[in-house]
């Protein structure tokens, strides 16, 4: 499932590794979960199947899709799930070709949740035939047994499951209208909506308020592809962090109101790029505002946001800047060959269309970061500032987030006020203890390449658990996590670290680089791991350090959303 909530943009806005972007238990029938050994434990318990895997019983039922199922136990009048429901199941999966058990939750002590809207088509079909309390065997041929293609290096094959339905969590009803009515209300850009339940509040949401809201979303065929109501965790986020279409709808609403809106998928973009995995076509959302927390008003959009005016200056690498306020002078932050000073700033960022995409002012808390851990445009212009200076800068796309998934694209405009400089003390390179004390993190001995005992995640991130915690909880695909991390290039150069900033990094997993998206779910709370992330899962199109990247990560917390 995919949240439409567009999460935090930089340590804010400008931290390079904020891009770093599922379960530890595989999702049945996913083709990259139970359909593949990639996300299963290295040596799952081997369980003898209750029937012959190669020859289904004579009384098994075969459907038109090729699914074969045989109920092992039946209950008269048992309630059956619908295709958008989530079922809690106990299950074991075998490869028909070898008889290998590739996953089981036997002995885990609790059933696994399975959203039927997000599984392989054969599994979705089968589960609607099995009632609560019933148990069945399933044979899923390759054409319906995988969600997407099998993982690279594996062969599509028939998968066999023993499944028991323990509980059914009913999804919100599919709206009667999956297209707008004849005369809906509309936002300023023409997004249609109707009020389902009138609100009780008086004040409309502002784009910088923090809004707690629930939503459910369906594609053009009525398949629910996301729902905070099913997760029982509402979204809590300012509207400006949403796709612009969602921002427009939310800012028409008051507390307690529920609306239904219809949005073409191409209008649900993040940073100017379409969201990966978003269904095509017209999408239907129902949104309900629960509470509104008044935010701190950001600076007004600059009148010259569209392009640098003629009186701007230019930094060495090509950032346009204008001095709005001068401080009392003094030292400038320094960027050295292998490290940099840490700075504290207040900032607000806009696209050249004038849409705010991030602001420490709204958050009410300045941002602190190492100067070599931000976009190149910031690294280039901040050394021109002294404490107390306030600049407006226009950062060309190639010095910002060009091509980076989930980042604002195009030229970016920021107003930045430098509040503090924390110089990095000089240290001797051969003194690792002094380096750590100064905020530097020595590169690990195996930084150059993943060692032979490293495991591999579904999409190709090599990882090694450095500090295991038996039974630790792992994040889900939509989790918000808090981590401590340090990143190096394979030549041992540290390029970013939350530890040097003195605080963990808090982010939604879907808003980081693909290598983090794939690697962090392999880490439990309290565990420490080392990841080797190939370039194609890091910054393949620029916008960050190039080549394979190495991260030491400690998962501090899985946070509620």
Question: Which whole-number Å values give the CA distances from 468 to 131, 452, 475, 482, 516, in the listed order?
Answer: 38, 18, 15, 17, 18
DSSP 522: G
- Is 539 an active-site residue? yes
Strands (E), 198-319: 210-218, 224-227, 235-237, 258-264, 269-270, 273-274, 282-293, 313-314
Q: Across the strands, what pairs with 217?
A: 226, 285
Q: Would you list the DSSP string of 364-389?
A: TS-EEEEGGGB-HHHHHHGGG--TT-
Q: Would you list the DSSP string of 434-475?
A: HHHHTT--PPPTTTTS--TT-EE-TTS-EEEEEE--TT----
477 by Cβ neighbours in 10 Å (0-12 / 13-18 / 19+) ranks as middle
The CA-based angle 115-511-35, given to 5 degrees, is 35
Which entry of 68, 130, 191, 513 is annotated as an active-site residue?
513
CB atoms within 10 A of CB 471: 9
Q: Which residue from 378, 389, 420 is spatially nearest to 15, judged by alpha carbons?
A: 378
Which entry of 193, 539, 553, 558 is annotated as an active-site residue?
539
Residue 45 CA, chain-centre distance (Å), reads: 31
329: alpha, beta or left? (left if phi > 0; alpha if psi -120 to 50): left
- Quote the CA–CA distance of 400 and 445 in Å, as a whole number: 32
Which entry of 495, 505, 523, 552 is annotated as an active-site residue?
495
- Is 495 an active-site residue? yes
Q: Would you list the DSSP string of 2-44?
A: --------STTTTBGGGG----SSPPTT-SSSTTSTTSS-SSP
Q: Which residue from 319, 320, 318, 317 is spatially nearest to 309, judged by alpha carbons?
A: 320
Which entry of 357, 485, 520, 553 is annotated as an active-site residue?
485
DSSP 204: B
Q: Would you list the DSSP string of 116-182?
A: GGGS-HHHHHHHTTS-TT-EEEEEE-HHHH-SSSPPTT-----EEEEEEEEEEEPPPPPPS-SS--S
- Quote the CA–CA distance of 334 and 342 in Å, as a whole number: 9
Pairing of strands 390-395, 320-325: antiparallel
Q: Which residue from 490, 546, 561, 487 is spatially nearest to 519, judged by alpha carbons?
A: 487
Q: Which residue from 436, 418, 415 is spatially nearest to 427, judged by alpha carbons?
A: 436
- Is 485 an active-site residue? yes
Which entry of 19, 208, 551, 553 is annotated as an active-site residue?
551
CA atoms within 13 A on the CB side of 433: 0
- Quote the CA–CA distance of 417 and 382 in Å, as a whole number: 10
- Is 203 an active-site residue? no
Which entry of 209, 341, 389, 496 is annotated as an active-site residue?
496
* 213 three-state secondary structure: strand
| Cα radius of gyration (the chain) | 26
DSSP 536: G
- Is 146 an active-site residue? no
- Is 320 an active-site residue? no
Question: What are the residue numbers of the active site?
Answer: 485, 495-496, 513, 539, 551
């Amino acid at each position: 499932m995919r949240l439409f909530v567009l999460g935090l943009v930089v340590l804010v806005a400008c931290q390079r590794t904020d891009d770093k972007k599922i379960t530890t238990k595989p999702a049945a029938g996913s083709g990259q979960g139970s359909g593949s050994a990639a996300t299963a434990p290295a040596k799952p318990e081997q369980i003898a199947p209750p029937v012959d895997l190669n020859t289904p019983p004579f009384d098994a039922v075969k459907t038109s899709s090729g699914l074969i199922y045989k109920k092992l136990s039946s209950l008269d009048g048992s309630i059956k799930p619908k295709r958008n429901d989530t079922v809690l199941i106990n299950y074991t999966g075998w490869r028909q070709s070898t008889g290998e058990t590739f996953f089981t939750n036997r002995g885990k002590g609790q059933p696994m949740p399975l959203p039927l809207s997000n599984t392989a088509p054969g599994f979705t079909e089968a589960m609607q035939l099995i009632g609560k309390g019933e148990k069945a065997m399933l044979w899923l041929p390759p054409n319906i047994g995988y969600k997407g293609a099998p993982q690279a290096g594996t062969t599509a094959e028939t998968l066999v499951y023993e499944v028991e339905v323990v509980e059914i969590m009913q999804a919100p009803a599919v709206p009667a209208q999956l297209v707008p009515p004849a005369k809906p209300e509309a936002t300023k850009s023409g997004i249609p909506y109707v009020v389902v339940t009138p609100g009780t509040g008086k004040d409309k949401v502002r784009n910088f308020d923090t809004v707690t809201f629930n939503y459910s979303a369906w594609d053009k065929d009525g398949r629910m592809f996301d729902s905070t109501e099913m997760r029982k965790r509402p979204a809590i986020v300012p509207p400006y962090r949403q796709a612009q279409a969602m921002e427009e709808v939310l800012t028409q609403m008051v507390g307690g109101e529920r609306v239904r809106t219809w949005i073409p998928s191409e209008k649900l973009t993040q940073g100017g790029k379409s969201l990966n995995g978003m269904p095509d076509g017209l999408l239907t959302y129902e949104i309900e505002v629960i509470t509104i927390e008044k935010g701190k008003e950001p600076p007004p959009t600059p009148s010259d946001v569209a392009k640098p005016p003629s009186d701007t200056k230019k930094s060495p690498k090509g950032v346009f800047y204008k001095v709005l306020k001068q401080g009392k002078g003094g030292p400038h932050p320094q960027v050295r060959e292998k490290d940099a000073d840490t700075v504290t700033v207040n900032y607000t960022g806009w696209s050249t269309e004038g849409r705010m995409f991030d602001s420490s002012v709204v958050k009410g808390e300045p941002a602190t970061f190492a100067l070599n851990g931000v976009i190149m445009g910031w690294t280039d212009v901040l050394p021109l500032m002294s404490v107390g200076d306030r600049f407006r800068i226009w950062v060309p796309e190639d010095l910002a987030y060009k091509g980076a998934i989930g980042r604002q694209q195009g030229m970016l405009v920021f107003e930045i006020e430098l509040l503090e400089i924390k110089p990095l003390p000089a240290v001797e390179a051969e003194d690792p203890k002094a380096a750590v004390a100064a905020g530097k993190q020595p590169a690990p001995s195996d930084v150059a390449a993943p060692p032979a005992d490293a495991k591999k995640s579904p999409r190709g991130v090599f990882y090694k658990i450095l500090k295991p915690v038996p039974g630790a909880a792992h994040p889900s695909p939509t989790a918000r996590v808090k981590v401590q991390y340090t990143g190096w290039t394979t030549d041992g150069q540290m390029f970013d670290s939350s530890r040097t900033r003195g605080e963990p990094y808090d982010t939604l997993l879907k808003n980081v680089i693909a290598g983090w998206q794939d690697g962090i779910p392999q880490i439990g709370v309290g565990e420490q791991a080392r990841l080797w992330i190939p370039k194609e899962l890091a910054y393949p199109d620029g916008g960050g350090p190039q080549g394979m990247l190495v991260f030491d990560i400690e998962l501090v917390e899985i946070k509620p959303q």
